Structure 1
């Protein structure tokens, strides 16, 4: 069953007037997260200070890292009269103080509703401040009414590719991989390692693996993103031998890049089943002319063994999902491949956790972010944490849920939780 079919099966009969327990996040937060995958970048949220503060708190709590975010600090007067001048002054201050390699200007609901012209403000900045002519700047429309975190992330990826990627001579062995918001930094590193194991050069857009994976940075500065793909590499994204999109949300951006630069495109909704990873492995073999490295052959056999060991615990289990759409699609496919059933699946655009609780019958497991911990307690089921934000577990920048290694983590992690729950119900300690 696809995510679209899921939405039809769980959509409430009467749309709620107000959301009472939402797990939706601002598109501006998603756009900022994508920009943090570019080395030396600063996301600049054009709106009130509270919009930036809320996004920063969530990102810091999830990654436990310093998060560079800036704001144009709109007040009552600039909100009424227009905030384009705030953008100019904010970029000037950032250029002087932080010397960023990229400034990403993201709209919020406040400024988008008024109709502030972000691109026009950047053009005026270039005209008034010629000394900033070489400063890379991209503009992202990410108001709250355009969707959620996933949509904002995809909008930022589209802007990065449209602004910087240029056609040109093909770079042999280079593969551009456009990734969506469902992939954690650990996932991005897993994909990068897999591609490079075949002797290919992986160009990830964006590359969160180097910026939010949790490591001591060589520089003490936290004013800009400390890792990620460079702007210079972004300019080469359209010159790869192949372009790969991972996640339906970023497929339109990858397709535009492929069409503009006349490059072949391959897309994956997810890399969370053996079949999907096998398909990618076959393509890498074809593109590189190399055999599969032994480490991945062994990992695949480990996944097969783990599936055999856990199939009694997954079989016929009813699972409820509350995740962003790309991640929901992958987790749904993974669970079905393990023999579990999806009792209900919800995305932030389809409803809130209160509606899920009302529509959900008896389930064996809930998979969602930390926001669903109270719901899991009320339902009397265990919560397996995936997605954003996760604030009551460590190592979120290192989590891996894709590739053979990620599948092994999921099978063992979820399988152990189901096993613990089963042992709790069938207590043999007094036997």
Structure 2
């Protein structure tokens, strides 16, 4: 069992963590005709909006109640009321999803009570729009906690029991670590067994980068309220990621639909388990194309392990993504030398390493240097650490603002696992051909000469040690 350690620093340097309100709004973006609304200051929404826009390279619908100093002291009910009425009048969404921020939660405002009063006062004006509220203070949890709470709130607010069960319909609750491409891959796998999946939420419908025929100020696609309500008639629920256990349990409590949690869908055994489960639900055998893909993955694992095995990996990510990547790497013989994450999770104790640190990217960089790691895996904010350490960086998770097509990176299923292994192996192979003194098999004297030359001294000023050309 890995030991969980919490960094005891006075401040965070180069943050790894993203706040829970952003995770909640990210989940709401997977609902059709939805307008996420952050209840807090304008800055809270602006920073989150910029982060998502840079990652997806798309317009992101996200609104704010724009709390100022006076409203913070006297209460934000008027701001909520005005925001709801303006959004309804200008965008007419099917769903307004409100997530609170640290400013509101610190004050202790009764947001649920305010919403009841507002809905009663403007019943006619808000007709045709459902409102969901989730409590997500910035100072509790992290990004995946906000996602978990948002999906749970959607289920508890909008799902009612249904008498009839549809034997070919299943619910899929994807975790926040799944990309648009990952969700599309899971959908293709489920449909290959003749099943009809309802994704809660479905980012592949709203953030897949398509150009709509007509402009809308709300989300461009995703799970409709009708499909969400119909999830109560499904025969089974699949939750992807340990943090999706709570919403899956809430769905079972409200509708009686049994669930199973898959901690990861990246890796040979993990995908095998999913396909076996779908075969049992559907009564069909595994399609031939997935048997072929499995064989291809086995070959890829054989090819990649020569380059991955024995290397020391440093990974910094949300708990479920960290667990998924770590299991894949160590399964091919790598060592998880550094594991840094954002929030507590039962999964962390199961990681194949001695300790897991809840910290920031400064801790990540320090540990990667001390433990002589060969490769870094984290999001785009780790690029400066990679430059200073002169180590290769594989970008994973969110945000990934310095790459195009981040939403379409595939990491689940047999195909996604194979692509991930190829990326890791090729990144490590590239390092062998780069001028990186950390990897050169030179003596101390030779390395000193190279470093002096790199610092500006001319080659004529340096005596070349034996075996080193000028």
User: Is the Cα–Cα contact under 8 Å of residues 22 and 348 in structure 1 kept in the other structure?
Assistant: no
2:405 to 392, 395, 401: 395
The Cα of 1:270 is off from its aligned counterpart by: 0.9
Alignment of 1:20-419 (within 5 A): 20-131=13-124, 132-168=126-162, 169-221=164-216, 223-349=217-343, 350-360=358-368, 361-419=371-429
1:79-135 CA-to-partner distances (Å, cap 9, x unmatched) read: 100001111110100001001010001100111111222211221121111212441
Q: After the TM superposition, which segments of 4 or more aligned residues of structure 1 sit over 4 Å from their partners? A: none
The Cα of 1:184 is off from its aligned counterpart by: 1.1
Between stretches 236-245 and 94-103, larger displacement belongs to: 236-245
What is the rounded CA distance, in whole Å, between the counterparts of 1:423 and 1:165 in structure 2? 56
The Cα of 1:256 is off from its aligned counterpart by: 2.0
Give the number of equivalent residue pairs: 420
1:7 to 4, 9, 15: 4
What is the rounded CA distance, in whole Å, between the counterparts of 2:332 and 2:53 in structure 1? 34
Q: Secondary structure at the match of 2:92?
A: coil
Q: Residue 346 of structure 2 aligns with which residue? A: none
Q: What 5-or-longer segments of structure 2 have no aligned partner?
A: 344-357, 442-470
Q: Which has the larger radius of gyration?
A: 2
The Cα of 1:426 is off from its aligned counterpart by: 7.1
User: Is the Cα–Cα contact under 8 Å of residues 193 and 287 in structure 2 kept in the other structure?
Assistant: yes
User: Is the Cα–Cα contact under 8 Å of residues 244 and 261 in structure 2 kept in the other structure?
Assistant: no
Q: Secondary structure at the match of 1:137?
A: strand
User: Is the Cα–Cα contact under 8 Å of residues 27 and 143 in structure 1 kept in the other structure?
Assistant: yes
User: Is the Cα–Cα contact under 8 Å of residues 92 and 129 in structure 2 kept in the other structure?
Assistant: no
Q: What 5-or-longer segments of structure 1 have no aligned partner?
A: none
The Cα of 1:386 is off from its aligned counterpart by: 0.3
1:253-287 CA-to-partner distances (Å, cap 9, x unmatched) read: 11121133222211111111110110010011111
Q: Secondary structure at the match of 2:315?
A: strand
Q: Secondary structure at the match of 1:235?
A: helix
Q: Secondary structure at the match of 2:266?
A: coil
What is the rounded CA distance, in whole Å, between the counterparts of 2:336 and 2:3 in structure 1? 9
1:116-158 CA-to-partner distances (Å, cap 9, x unmatched) read: 2221122112111121244111001111012111111111101
What is the rounded CA distance, in whole Å, between the counterparts of 2:432 and 2:313 in structure 1? 14
Between stretches 286-295 and 387-396, larger displacement belongs to: 286-295
Q: TM-score, normalised by structure 1?
A: 0.95
Q: Secondary structure at the match of 2:222?
A: coil
The Cα of 1:7 is off from its aligned counterpart by: 3.0
What is the rounded CA distance, in whole Å, between the counterparts of 1:286 and 1:234 in structure 2? 24
User: Is the Cα–Cα contact under 8 Å of residues 7 and 345 in structure 1 kept in the other structure?
Assistant: no
What is the rounded CA distance, in whole Å, between the counterparts of 1:128 and 1:267 in structure 2? 41
The Cα of 1:32 is off from its aligned counterpart by: 0.8
The Cα of 1:217 is off from its aligned counterpart by: 1.6
The Cα of 1:358 is off from its aligned counterpart by: 2.4
What is the rounded CA distance, in whole Å, between the counterparts of 1:385 and 1:197 in structure 2? 31
User: Is the Cα–Cα contact under 8 Å of residues 159 and 254 in structure 2 kept in the other structure?
Assistant: no
What is the rounded CA distance, in whole Å, between the counterparts of 1:311 and 1:295 in structure 2? 24
User: Is the Cα–Cα contact under 8 Å of residues 370 and 389 in structure 1 kept in the other structure?
Assistant: yes
The Cα of 1:203 is off from its aligned counterpart by: 0.6
